[in-house]
Amino acid sequence: MRKEHHSADLDRTACYAALKAHDPRFDGRFFTGVSSTGIYCRPICRVKLPKEENCTFFMSAPAAEAAGYRPCRRCRPELAPGLSLVDSTSYLAQKAAMIMEENCLADMKIADLAAMLDVTDRHLRRAFTERFGVSPVQYLQTRRLLLAKCLLADTGLSITKVALYSGFGSIRRFNDLFKKYYRAAPTAFRKSEKAMTENKETITLTLGYRPPYAWDELIEFLAGRAITGVELVKDGIYSRTVAVHNGKELYCGWISVENKPKNNSLSITMCAALLPVLTKILARLRRLFDLNCDPIEIYKKLSVLDELTPGLCVPGLRLPGCFDPFEISVRAVLGQQVTVKAARTLAMRFAHAFGGTITTPFEELQYTFPTSETILSLKPPIENNLGPLGITGARGRSIYALAEAIETGSIHFTSDADPKVQMEKLLKLPGFGPWTVQYIGMRAFSWPDAFPHTDYGVKKALSNLTEKEILEKSQEWKPWRSYAVMNLWNSLKENKMNQEVSKK
């Protein structure tokens, strides 16, 4: 007998209509368990439509699995996009879920997670069950299984490595859970015999998103700010070097990201050296490319921008996040009151002077961006180190203060951190004014409601309004003001293009 974990909040009629239409806007918002097959699917699945009476709808994949359903091998529920922070009916549960997905809690218990979030484990369990329909333990177990299923289907990693990198403590436990929940051995999820041959140099995985996705606008934004030697945008593909800590170990390598619009997903290729920090890499990429965004909901709210200028609000526009919060924060400091090009040059000098060197398949990628630990280890005064690069003493001291705050733990960029609290702390650091902090909020924290109202581009796009009027007007765009800023910046680009055309 299957247990009933479906949500009373889900409207059966609406869910079945979305399932019947294969509507991608609902992908990841609910999952359908089919009693006649014992399988659960995403609403976009193209299998034969089941009868409505055979369908049970669930808020999450873990809830479907807890009820005894197995994941569909065609639509692959592990690829469904997640929910952004503002989407969540329980901010606490959503933060806990993000931490789980980033770390798989390999060395942490649920009680430790609750303590990290400053709540009792009982309260966390209650919030989690209300939000996802399952306990935190069940959710974590399903996330591990789905990641393992993804690795089995998309890579040639050995079974032992799949178990290890998806967070399982033992191969025996890994095999037992696959047989219990999926009624098959892990090897049954290999796509072909060819996939059994392990690629020792790279792996390629897929991350899904909800359409529409304004990829061209996002990749153009990243290209204009790419640090030479660290980042590369070529032929619509974003590549970069990475350096990620896992405890005291630092793992360095490279990643490459390509859009696959027909599949509503991004193809992620990375060097095998990054496998020990795989979950961290994937979590950072979700943030960088804003994969948990609900573009339809945001467009509904921000379509009022079209009253200012027709076509100002772009459907599917994403908020560019960051891969490394320290990196983007340093770049925000370097970008104070200078052009994007000048800030990019300073960031390049900074990376080449203090970053590590690395070998990649790309001639253009040779350096990793310096860590906060590296900057803190420089012989004082910091001005002597950064001054020769063209970085002013004031900005050098700001960067050093930031590195110190991160290393001492007074400021956190982790998944459990409250963006508003951390942004208030940043304001107290020397040289961190409202514009810098709001920009860091947008990109380092992926905070959807950051609003740098003093920004030159924002004021130029709204040239007929005073700063006070801009702030008042922005209240109409809450809680998506970061996305409004992106639309305003893009409007300047469009205006410039139109002016150049008219001159011709």
Active site residues: 455
b (16+ CB within 10 A) / e for 486-498: bbbbbbeeeeeee
Q: Using the 8-state DSSP alphabet, how is residue 195 labeled?
A: G
Q: Which amino acid is at 266?
A: L
Owner of token pair 């203090």: 354
Residue 312: CB partners within 8 Å, gap ≥ 6?
Answer: 305, 306, 487, 488, 491
Residue 51: CB partners within 8 Å, gap ≥ 6?
Answer: 36
- Residues 351, 355: Cα–Cα separation, whole Å: 5
- Residues 364, 223: Cα–Cα separation, whole Å: 13
Residue 208: CB partners within 8 Å, gap ≥ 6?
Answer: 27, 28, 79, 80, 81, 263, 264, 265, 291
Q: What is the DSSP string of 247-304?
A: TTEEEEEEEEEEEEGGGTEEEEEEEGGGGGGHHHHHHHHHHHTTTT--HHHHHHHHGG
The Cβ of residue 308 has, within 10 Å, a number of other Cβ atoms equal to 16
CA dihedral 208, 74, 239, 292 (to 10 degrees): 10
| Nearest CA-CA partner of 50 in 36, 71, 30, 31 | 36
| Nearest CA-CA partner of 23 in 314, 264, 289 | 264
CA 121 to chain centre: 26
| Phi, psi angle pair for 281, to nearest 5° | -60, -50
Residue 246: CB partners within 8 Å, gap ≥ 6?
Answer: 276, 277, 280
In this structure, the strands spanning 231-234 and 70-71 are unpaired
- Token reading at 142: 């399903």
- Residues 366, 348: Cα–Cα separation, whole Å: 11
